[in-house]
Structure 1
Amino acid sequence: MRAVGYRTAGGPAVLEDFELPVPEPGPRDLLVRVEAVSVNPVDVKVRASADPGGTPRVLGFDAAGVVTAVGNEVSLFSPGDEVYYAGSIGRPGTDQQFHLVDERIAGRRPRSLTFAAAAALPLTTITAWETLFDRFRLGPDSTGTLLVLGAAGGVGSMIIQLARALTRLTVVGTASRPDSRQWALDLGAHEVVGHGELPEGPEGVDYVFSPFTAGQVEHFARILRPGGQIAAIDEPEGLDLLPLKTKSIGFHWEFMFTRPLFQTPDMVVQHELLDRVAELVDAGTVRSTMTTQLGPIDADHLRKAHEMVEDGHMTGKVVVAGF
């Protein structure tokens, strides 16, 4: 089968085309014929820093495709089913013609979306869902103000939509350019401010989602109400959380690969939430965040997609479709 990966860490130019054997499904695995993938910051980070020592490593996490075979313990899907999912950082990636994924972290593809539009969603959807409902423990009656840093990015775009659809929060986003501000407003943000204009004042905010935490903790401590909460997805070195203590502010890490990486007993929650979001998409409540589609899936187009993500100015998601 055709695949795209790299043999040594570096820039987008290290990506190359490979021919690899089609993998055999394990007991809980789906063998998926991949129709579309999307590129996330984690792809860029792994490619730049994780050296496979000359052995081909296939990248890619988001995918949408068709189940072609199943393991002998699979109960949630059958061959012919159309799925979307984000895979696991502990297994080979989705940038290949056929891919194995544990059935417990795959969802049924939204019927109203193309494979490409569906492939934009899984990783950011899971991250957003777990932030809101696992870390912050929000519910349909939850109120207060949520500040979403990087509101026009992949995760920010999904947090805005899910918070508006499934809570009563007031959602404030940050964005720097007119087009990204408008994108966040179109997705449902009540207000959008510049990255350097985080809200100040006695009213405060209750929740902060942060993909950019370095140098921000003291600012968060000022703007959050006592008992407020932060969820971060980045990895700033030497992070000092002491400024949060006097307001008893909670700090959470969100890493959407935790369940598949550690095979947690509740892994199937990711299947369930992807199915729920597919229902919201098909109802017209949530929309795909795909803004750019490239293709076919080969080294040339994945290099371009990596460059776009690495630039740091993406609005929404870039998808690469078709082998």
Structure 2
Amino acid sequence: MKAVAYRRPLPITDAESLLDVTLPDPVAAGRDLLVRVEAVSVNPVDVKIRAGSTPADGQLKVIGWDAVGTVAAVGEKVTLFKPGERVWYAGDITRPGSNAELQLVDERIVGHAPTSIPAAQAAALPLTAITAWELLFDRLGTTADTEGALLIIGAAGGVGSILTQLARRLTKLTVIGTASRPETQAWLRELGAHHVIDHHQPLLPQLQAAGVPQVTAVAGLTHTPTYYTQIVEALAPQGKLALIDDFKEPLDVMPMKRKSLSLHWELMFTRSMMQTADMHKQHELLDEVAKLVDAGRLRSTLGEHFGAINAANLKRAHAFIESGKARGKVVLEGF
């Protein structure tokens, strides 16, 4: 099968940072599906792994954690899918990724793909939808009747673009997103944010000007330490902060004590990586997100289509993600 892989971490400008390769076809067993990949998207985690994770003994490493495709074969223990069904998923960080013609993936973290949109649009959603859904409902404990205000730091990125929609469509929260450029601010308004503020300016005065003196929850999606003092200031007593980004230095949680604030981590790979008892919840939520897409309640967050799945186009995509200028998701399609 065709695939894109790397042997060692290199700057994306290096000719060998990503390589077009040919690998043996994998074989499905157990609860695995063998999926013929149609489209993928590129996430910040792709960039982090490629730039910082060394494959064992110089072996080729295939990355990629978003895919839409068709089930080509199933393992003997599979009960949720059959060959020929169209599926979508974000995969497992401990296994070979989706930048390949064929991929093995556990059925418990796979959903039935939406039928109303093409593969490229669907490929933009799985990883960010899982992350946003788990952050909103599992970590922050939000329900359909939850009121208050949610501040989303970095709302125009991949996770923020779907989190904005989920919070607006499925809860009673007032949704405030941050973005610094006119085009990303307009994007958030299109997605349903009640208010959009600039994270390059002090947050609290902008919240107050919008008629939201304090928020009940914050989603820290990027550069959380930069905004941490302002986040604590903006949160109402007993408010909640949910995080997804990585820190170079430990976060001092003591400023949260006076208000009895709580901190929640979200990593969508936890369930597959740890083989948790509720691993199947990702199958269920992906099926639910597909229904919401097909009902017109959620829209794709595709921002850029970079062409076929090959090393040259993936290098362009990684460089674009590294630039910090991406709006929504970068998608590639076909081999």
- Determine the C-alpha separation between the residues in 1 that align with 2:215 and 2:243: 16
Identity %, equivalent residues: 53
- Determine the C-alpha separation between the residues in 1 that align with 2:304 and 2:229: 36
Instruction: Say whether residues 1:78 and 2:82 are aligned partners.
Output: yes
The residue aligned with 1:249 is 261
- Letter of the aligned partner of 1:310 in structure 2? E
Deviation string 1:202-236 (CA, Å, 9 cap, x unpaired) is: 83111100122123322211110000001111121
- Determine the C-alpha separation between the residues in 1 that align with 2:228 and 2:41: 31
Residues 139, 167 of structure 1: 8 Å contact kept: yes
Residues 205, 224 of structure 1: 8 Å contact kept: yes
Select which of 155, 171, 190 maps to 2:159: 155
Residues 5, 17 of structure 1: 8 Å contact kept: yes
Residues 227, 248 of structure 1: 8 Å contact kept: yes
Let me know the Cα RMSD of the aligned residues.
Answer: 1.0
- Determine the C-alpha separation between the residues in 2 that align with 1:75 and 1:40: 30
The residue aligned with 1:126 is 130
- Letter of the aligned partner of 1:283 in structure 2? A
Select which of 193, 196, 203 maps to 1:198: 203
- Determine the C-alpha separation between the residues in 2 that align with 1:185 and 1:158: 13
Q: In the TM superposition, what is the alpha-carbon distance from 1:197 to its structure 2 partner?
A: 3.5
- Determine the C-alpha separation between the residues in 2 that align with 1:245 and 1:215: 19
TM-score (norm 2): 0.95
Select which of 207, 225, 244 maps to 1:233: 244
Deviation string 1:123-159 (CA, Å, 9 cap, x unpaired) is: 0000000000000111110000000111110000010
- Determine the C-alpha separation between the residues in 2 that align with 1:291 and 1:213: 24
- Letter of the aligned partner of 1:158 in structure 2? I
Q: Return structure 1 stretches of 4+ with deviation > 4 angstroms.
A: none
Q: Secondary structure at the match of 1:79?
A: coil
The residue aligned with 2:51 is 48
The residue aligned with 1:276 is 288
Q: In the TM superposition, what is the alpha-carbon distance from 1:48 to its structure 2 partner?
A: 0.6
Instruction: Say whether residues 1:289 and 2:301 are aligned partners.
Output: yes
Instruction: Say whether residues 1:314 and 2:314 are aligned partners.
Output: no
Select which of 207, 212, 218 maps to 2:217: 207
Deviation string 1:25-46 (CA, Å, 9 cap, x unpaired) is: 1200000000001000000001
Q: Secondary structure at the match of 1:113?
A: coil
Residues 104, 267 of structure 1: 8 Å contact kept: yes
Q: Secondary structure at the match of 1:247?
A: coil
Residues 204, 213 of structure 2: 8 Å contact kept: no
Deviation string 1:254-307 (CA, Å, 9 cap, x unpaired) is: 100000001101111001001101011001110000121122111001001111
Residues 228, 249 of structure 1: 8 Å contact kept: yes
Which stretch of structure 1 is more off in the superposition, 292-301 or 281-290?
292-301
Q: Where in structure 2 are the equivalents of 1:86-97 lying within 5 Å?
A: 86-97=90-101
Q: How many residue pairs align between the two structures?
A: 323
Structure 2 residues not aligned, in runs of 5+ = none
- Determine the C-alpha separation between the residues in 2 that align with 1:68 and 1:221: 49
- Determine the C-alpha separation between the residues in 2 that align with 1:5 and 1:241: 39
Instruction: Say whether residues 1:220 and 2:225 are aligned partners.
Output: no
Residues 218, 244 of structure 1: 8 Å contact kept: no
- Letter of the aligned partner of 1:103 in structure 2? E
Q: In the TM superposition, what is the alpha-carbon distance from 1:311 to its structure 2 partner?
A: 0.7
- Determine the C-alpha separation between the residues in 2 that align with 1:61 and 1:183: 24
The residue aligned with 1:139 is 143
Residues 71, 82 of structure 2: 8 Å contact kept: yes
- Letter of the aligned partner of 1:62 in structure 2? D
- Letter of the aligned partner of 1:110 in structure 2? P
- Determine the C-alpha separation between the residues in 2 that align with 1:283 and 1:199: 36
- Letter of the aligned partner of 1:66 in structure 2? T
Q: Secondary structure at the match of 1:214?
A: helix
Deviation string 1:164-214 (CA, Å, 9 cap, x unpaired) is: 111000000000100000000100000100012313458311110012212
Instruction: Say whether residues 1:188 and 2:192 are aligned partners.
Output: yes
Structure 1 residues not aligned, in runs of 5+ = none
Instruction: Say whether residues 1:2 and 2:2 are aligned partners.
Output: yes
